[in-house]
């Protein structure tokens, strides 16, 4: 069997969005599953709209997702000589010809056909004129006058297109630049692409591309056109459905593995399995289970998957990505044992890395800022004795473990006749500044003995000096 060679050919006129990322993923997974090759090609012939910034953004998004490529990136604007060579072959073989009809003349032909109840199209006026190349000529492919072109599609099945409804379409503009359908086919032929998985919005181009393959006597690739991703209202996916560029999902705290997992499930299935790691996907991915129905983008499902992937990672795996989000909050943290301990306390409850980073802020603050409502309710004069005992007993511990901390609070409960909740909540506010945090023991252990004692003492000073939240007689 020939080596499977797939490709992803984005246009650098913007960032990488959900649909494009899914297309890249399907092609990448199939190449990796079959030990084939995955080629990256930048289709930048729209020079007016293509930008280096878009190229960089696309490459960065692919790299973040972990979608690597074996060849490329190739740029179509650097391949014009190759296109011209093949166009000359098509003209010399009689499969294509020069046409000098002006746009106004072509429009008149279309209007005439329309008036006769026919499909508006170019009428082939220059087919037999044997024109030579000039400044005002385009090159058109000779299309069959009869018969059908059948797209054999591994996703949608066979789709037949009547050749009589395809006019002799342009493959080279008068300025010498290649048209999209010609450039794509030449690229795929010269790069050895034999499997093409793309969105079904490209299906309308496929019969034209097949005619170019046939005119060149080239082997036809395998085509698979996957349905588009739709919004919850079944309209074309857009930002109003919550869909954004791939780079924005990184900023919002999603893990690349969660994005990969979610993207692949937008149009592919493996039984009822929902959760996949990347290696698992490479092992199980196939073309037979690509769906024929459009998939609906659901932000809630993505968030749920992201939460599961966060829980499935080790603190060591999450530390690097978390530092990026901590930095965005102005925290210069290190990938060290302290940060990994912080992650361990927040991991079970975090849906995104942004949520985790926000929850981690108090660990890195030198001076805790007390939430006014929390302080007014829990940092009162009558809690001073409990906080002082907590600071003294914890400071006196020789070993700082959950067991030793539990002994401390048992002792305080016995001495004060208070239940644990009446001790833990004021202590939580003293340590974090708020009433919401990870479990008290795991939090204290992650924070460390010295920082814990220091924060309790500062809370004592706050209560003693301010008097603001003391009970009034």
Distances from the Cα of 420 to the Cα of 52, 346, 407, 415, 448, angstroms: 60, 22, 12, 12, 21
Q: Give the distance from CA 310 to its chain's centroid.
A: 16
Contact (Cβ atoms closer than 8 angstroms) between residue 267 and residue 291: yes
Distances from the Cα of 137 to the Cα of 74, 123, 179, 382, angstroms: 28, 16, 14, 92
- Which among 119, 152, 239, 334 is annotated as catalytic? 239
> Does the annotation count 239 as an active-site position?
yes
Burial class (CB in 10 A: 0-12, 13-18, 19+), 55: middle
Contact (Cβ atoms closer than 8 angstroms) between residue 343 and residue 438: no
**Among all residues, which ones are annotated catalytic?**
239
């Amino acid at each position: 069997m020939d080596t499977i060679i797939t490709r992803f050919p984005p246009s650098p006129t913007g960032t990488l969005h959900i649909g494009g990322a899914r297309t890249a993923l399907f092609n990448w997974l199939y190449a990796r599953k079959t030990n084939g090759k995955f080629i990256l090609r930048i289709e930048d012939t729209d020079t007016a709209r293509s930008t280096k910034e878009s190229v960089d953004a696309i490459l960065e998004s692919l790299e973040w997702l972990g979608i690597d490529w074996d060849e490329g990136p190739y740029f179509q604007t650097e391949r014009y000589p190759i296109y011209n060579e093949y166009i000359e072959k098509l003209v010399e073989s009689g499969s294509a010809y020069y046409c000098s009809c002006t746009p106004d003349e072509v429009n008149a032909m279309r209007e005439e056909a329309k008036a006769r109840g026919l499909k508006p199209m170019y009428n082939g006026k220059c087919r037999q004129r044997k024109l030579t190349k000039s400044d005002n000529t385009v090159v058109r492919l000779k299309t069959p006058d009869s018969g059908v072109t059948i797209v054999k599609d591994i996703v949608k099945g066979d789709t037949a297109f009547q050749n009589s409804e395809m006019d002799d379409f342009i493959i080279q503009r008068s300025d010498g630049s290649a048209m999209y359908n010609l450039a794509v086919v030449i690229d795929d032929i010269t790069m050895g692409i034999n499997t093409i998985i793309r969105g079904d919005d490209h299906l309308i181009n496929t019969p034209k591309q097949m005619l170019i393959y046939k005119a060149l006597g080239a082997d036809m690739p395998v085509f698979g056109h996957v349905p588009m991703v739709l919004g919850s209202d079944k309209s074309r996916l857009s930002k109003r459905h919550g869909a954004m560029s791939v780079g924005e999902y990184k900023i919002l705290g999603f893990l690349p593995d969660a994005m990969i997992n979610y993207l692949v499930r937008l149009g592919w299935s493996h039984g009822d399995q929902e959760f996949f790691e990347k290696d698992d996907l490479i092992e199980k991915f196939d073309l037979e289970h690509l769906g024929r129905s459009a998939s609906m983008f659901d932000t809630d499902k993505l968030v749920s998957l992201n939460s599961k992937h966060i829980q499935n990672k080790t603190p060591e795996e999450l530390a690097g990505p978390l530092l990026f989000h901590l930095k965005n909050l102005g925290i210069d943290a290190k990938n060290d044992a302290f940060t990994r301990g912080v992650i361990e306390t927040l991991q079970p409850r975090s849906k995104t890395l942004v949520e985790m980073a926000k929850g981690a802020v108090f660990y890195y603050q030198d001076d805790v800022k007390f939430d006014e409502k929390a302080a007014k309710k829990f940092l009162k004069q009558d809690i001073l004795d409990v906080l002082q005992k907590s600071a003294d007993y914890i400071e006196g511990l020789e070993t700082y473990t959950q067991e030793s901390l539990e002994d401390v609070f048992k002792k305080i409960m016995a001495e004060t006749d208070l239940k644990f909740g009446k001790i833990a909540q004021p202590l939580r506010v003293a340590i974090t500044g708020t009433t919401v945090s990870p479990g008290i023991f795991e939090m204290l252990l992650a924070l460390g003995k010295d920082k814990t004692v220091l924060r309790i003492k500062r809370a004592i000073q706050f209560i003693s000096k301010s008097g603001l939240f003391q009970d009034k007689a």
